Structure formats: structure tokens, C-alpha cells
Amino acid sequence: MLQTTFATRTAKMQLNAIREILKVVNRPGMVSLAGGIPAPESFPLALMQDLTTTVLRNYGATALQYDATEGFAPLRQALVPHLAAKQVTASAEEILIFSGSQGVLDALGKILISPGDAVAVEAPTYVGALSAFNPYEPNYVQVETDEQGIIPAALEAALQRQPIKMIYLVPTFQNPTGRTMPLDRRQAVAAIIQQYGVLLVEDDPYSDLRYTGQALPPIKHFAPDHVVYVSTLSKTFAPGLRIGFCVAPGEIYRWLVIAKQGVDLHTSTFNQALAAEYLNGGYLQQQLPKILDIYRPRQQAMLAALDRYMPTGFRWTEPEGGMFLWMEGPDGLDTEEIYWRAVEKQMAFVPGKFFFAEPGMGNATMRLNYTMANEQTIDWAVRTLAEVIEEAGR
Ligand SMILES: Cc1ncc(COP(=O)(O)O)c(C=O)c1O
């Protein structure tokens, strides 16, 4: 009999409770507002053949060879103007390519978090970040948020209470709430992290998916030496290619490279070459408006349906971009109970409590995705959700 004992950290990787309850979502006929993935029709499928030919012509065997851990040089170069447009100043040598931004989060956990270290997160936060950090055994410090994201005074109070190893934030079109921190909050957080000398991980997968309003500079812009800026091409090219990247202050950059080397040596050279050609050929600029034209009306359909069908006592965010909105019902509502009732009617969403680092919060909240279903289906799903809520006596 196999005598394997698992590492103590393995217990921290406990099966994600969201995964467990979402298993039913793949049943035939289910309309899911639960997913967090891009619509397949947003992918530049027709372009892929040409990109593949271009990669083989331009790079030949190099695209199939081992490559530098830091990333494929033409992609790092192509990301310089991409980042500059977002007001992140970085040379190619300061950019590090990872297998998805998820890969960056894991590497940051690995090089920074010792068991018991405090990691400050928003309440609620991105569960994938918790999954990435959990094996390194942090103590989470949940910081209060409001409709404008993290509250700077609450962050400062947390920093005064205890030493914090790092802060993890999604300031733009946050997953799960869709909220965006306004300019003054970004500046306030930048000032706080500089004052306390603390590291911020700024995760920015969604800022390109802006449907209305003005783009905002990332916090990295205001405090470059205190922020690891993390982003991805998953939402604007193809998530299956696993192209994420970061810009990190010097010492952290060096250790990230060493950590990544031990994990996968480097991200797929071929996929990085595809990404380089996608950016260099100006295809992102061509594709992005098409992606926005798919998502914008879906978001509008969801907001209109919520207005039309939801009973009083419910409120929801109205994000200017991204893939999600966040709804909160009256005190005492249990959205996991609503979830199981909705599933019986072939409709699914994610109960919000799973996005909190500490148990017992967010019972009356839920995350709704509007990128995967078309407008008609979204209308049906929201109407069904409202009916289920009414039937449950709310
Ligand atoms: C906030 C956030 N960070 C990171 C990721 C992971 O993205 P990637 O595909 O680049 O690993 C996601 C994906 O949904 C996300 O919502």
C-alpha cells in the first residue's frame, strides 16, 4: 500500500467550496451567471491561423525552443507600449512573463509569505488569490470596503494594528464586485503604502474592458517602488494561452525569476510569440472594440433586468466595465439557499460569501456574471432569479 503522507501545507489547499457547489452548473440546460470566463465569441479565432503562420515565419524553431525565464524578448518589448498606455512605465527588462496572472500570484506567495504572515485583502476579494496564497499559510486581514473599493482609513488602521507583509487589491472592475477605486482613493492608498513601506500587489486583469467613463491610472503609477503590478492577456486575447505578466520592484523581480525557474522554467514560448504578434500587429486594438461590443449590451441587459424584476430591498453595483456585478439583498437573506432553489430552475450564480477570507460574511450577497450569456438569456436568468427570491419569501 502506498505510504504517502502529505505536506502540512497541503491541508491549506482544501477543495475550494465554490468549486464544490458549482459542480451542478455544467448540467445540460443550465443558464449560468456564475462563471468568470470570457465569452468564446470574444476570441480572435479567425486571426489565429494567420498569427500562427506569422510566428513560424518570423521566429521559426526559436518559437518552439526553451527560452529565458523572464519571458520571450519580443513579447516583453511589445508590452512596453501596452503598459505605457495604462500609465505603467516599464522597460522590457522590468517586465516578467508568467503562465497567467495566477502564476504571478502563486510566485508572490512563495517568495513573500511565511506561515502566519499578515496579508491584507479586500472584503470581498478574488478567491483565486486566496487559493494562490493559502498554501503559504498567511493570516488574512480583511479590510473594509464600500462602493468605491477599499477604504483608505481602514487600510491605515490595519497597518497600525500589525505589521502587514503585503496588500492584495483589484482596484479596477474588481472581481467579484465590479467596483473601481476612484482617483483620490488610488492616490490615498499610494501615499499610505509609501508611508508604511508596505508592498501592494495590484491585480489588473479587467481595466481594458471599460464600457463607459474615463480610464484611471493604476496605483503603480503613483507608487512605482511599492507596487507589483500584475496583468494578463486572458480577457483580451485568449485565457487558454496563459499569458500573464508583472512589473515588480528590483529585489522582488529577481526572486520572482528564481521562483518561476523552479516551477516551469518559462511560459510557453510559442504562446508568448503569438501574444507578441497579436500586440505588434495592432490586433488587440482591432479586437478590443469587438469584445466591448459583445459585453456592453449584455451588461446593459442585466442592469435593465435587475431594475425590472428585482424586489425592493436589493441593491447592486453598476460597474463601468469588467465582467461582474455584485448584488446585496436584505439582512437575513441566505444566497446559498437561493442558489439551490435557482439551480432547480436551471439558473446559477455565485453566492457572495465565498469571496470573503473570513467565514460568516456576505451571506446576503451574490456575484452575477454578464459576459457568458446573450441579452435574452440574461433577461430570462434575472427574471428567474427574482421569482426564486420572491418564492423564498423575500
Ligand atoms: C482578479 C483576477 N486575477 C487574476 C485572474 C487570473 O487570470 P489569468 O487567466 O491571467 O491567470 C482572474 C481571472 O478571473 C481574476 O479575476
The pLDDT tens digits of the residues spanning 36-47 come to: 899 999 999 999
CA of 172 to the centre of ligand 1 (A): 13
pLDDT value for 87: 98
For a pocket test of ligand 1, which of 79, 232, 245, 263 has the largest count of ligand atoms closer than 8 A to its C-beta? 232
Query: What band does 12 get if pLDDT is binned at 50, 70 and 90?
Result: confident
Measure 129 CA to ligand 1 centroid, in angstroms. 8
Distance 242 CA to ligand 1 centre (A): 10
Taking CA atoms only, the protein residue closest to ligand 1 atom 12 is: 205
Single-letter code of the amino acid located at 315: R
pLDDT tens digit string along 233-276?
999 999 999 999 999 998 999 999 999 999 999 999 999 999 99
Quick one: pLDDT band at residue 11, thresholds 50, 70, 90?
Answer: confident
User: Atom of ligand 1 at shortest distance to CA of 323?
Assistant: 16
Q: How far apart are CA 15 and CA 220, in angstroms?
A: 33
User: 36 CB less than 6 Å from ligand 1?
Assistant: yes
Q: What is the 3-state secondary structure (H, E, C) of the chain?
A: CCCCCCCHHHHHHCCCHHHHHHHHHHCCCCEECCCCCCCHHHCCHHHHHHHHHHHHHHHHHHHHCCCCCCCCHHHHHHHHHHHHHCCCCCCHHHEEEEEHHHHHHHHHHHHHCCCCCEEEEECCCCHHHHHHHHHHCCEEEEECEECCEECHHHHHHHHHHCCCCEEEECCCCCCCCCCCCCHHHHHHHHHHHHHHCCEEEEECCCCCCECCCCCCCCHHHHCHHHEEEEEECCCCCCHHHCEEEEECCHHHHHHHHHHHHHHHCCCCHHHHHHHHHHHHCCHHHHHHHHHHHHHHHHHHHHHHHHHHHCCCCCEECCCCECCEEEEECCCCCCHHHHHHHHHHCCEECEEHHHHCCCCCCCCCEEEEECCCCCHHHHHHHHHHHHHHHHHCCC
**Which pLDDT score is estimated for 114?**
97
The band of 127, judged by pLDDT with boundaries at 50, 70 and 90, is very high
| Ligand 1, atom 7: closest residue by C-alpha | 101
In short, whether 322's Cβ falls inside 6 Å of ligand 1 is: no
Q: Which of 362, 376, 385 is nearest to 127 (CA)?
A: 362
Determine whether the shortest distance from the Cβ of 271 to ligand 1 is under 6 A.
Answer: no
170 lines ligand 1 (CB under 6 A): yes
Angstrom distance (rounded) from CA 75 to CA 27:
39
Report the separation in Å between the CA atom of 101 and the middle of ligand 1, taken as the mean of its atom positions.
6
Q: Residue 3: its pLDDT value, please?
A: 83
pLDDT value of residue 263? 96
Ligand 1 mutation target, pool 203, 231, 267, most atoms within 8 A of CB = 203
On the question of pLDDT at 359 being above 90, the answer is: no
- pTM of the predicted protein model: 0.96
Cα–Cα distance list, 380 to 309, 334, 345 (Å): 10, 22, 11
Distance from Cα 374 to the centre of ligand 1, integer Å? 22
- Could you give the CA distance from residue 376 to residue 380 in angstroms, rounded to a whole number? 6
From the CA of 102, how far away is ligand 1's center (Å)?
6
Percent of the chain clearing pLDDT 70 (strictly above): 99
Residue 15: is its pLDDT beyond 60? Answer: no
Q: So what's the pLDDT on residue 16?
A: 67
